[in-house]
């Protein structure tokens, strides 16, 4: 019985750490750690970073981003980006870069 309990605990710990970030809605209000984005592609990380601006109504010059966010039910773009204030609300996403030295 002791071994079954330890096995269950081991499986739980490994699956809990293997979770990745797929719902970007909380990115503007919480710090994202490297483990949450480790399995994401570069495109997904770029969307993650730009969703913070999209949730404020930012209108993108990059047509690919604009098309993507236009397809989201929650996205409502503003006419001019200068009306969006980011000062205290800006979120910094740290993406760890491995040094090959």
* pTM for this entry: 0.55
Express each pLDDT in 21-35 by its tens digit. 556 666 656 677 778
- Structural domains of the chain sorted by starting position, each given as residue range(s) with its CATH number in brackets: 29-94 (1.20.58.1690)
Note the pLDDT of residue 15.
Answer: 41
Note the pLDDT of residue 56.
Answer: 83
Task: Decide which of 56 and 1 is more confident.
Answer: 56
61-89: burial string, b at 16+ Cβ within 10 Å, e else: eeeebbebbeeeeeeeeeeeeeeeeeeee
Structural tokens at position 100: 């090959």
Is residue 39 predicted with pLDDT exceeding 70?
yes
Binned at pLDDT 50, 70 and 90, residue 83 comes out as: low
């Amino acid at each position: 019985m002791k071994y079954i309990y330890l096995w269950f605990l081991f499986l739980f710990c490994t699956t809990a750490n293997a979770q990745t970030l797929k719902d970007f809605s909380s990115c503007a209000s919480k710090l994202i750690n490297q483990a949450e984005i480790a399995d994401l592609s570069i495109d997904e990380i770029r969307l993650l970073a730009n969703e913070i601006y999209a949730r404020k109504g930012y209108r993108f010059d990059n047509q690919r981003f604009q098309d993507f966010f236009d397809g989201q039910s929650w996205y409502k773009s503003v006419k001019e980006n200068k009306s969006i204030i980011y000062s205290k609300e800006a979120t910094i996403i740290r993406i760890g870069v491995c040094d090959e030295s």
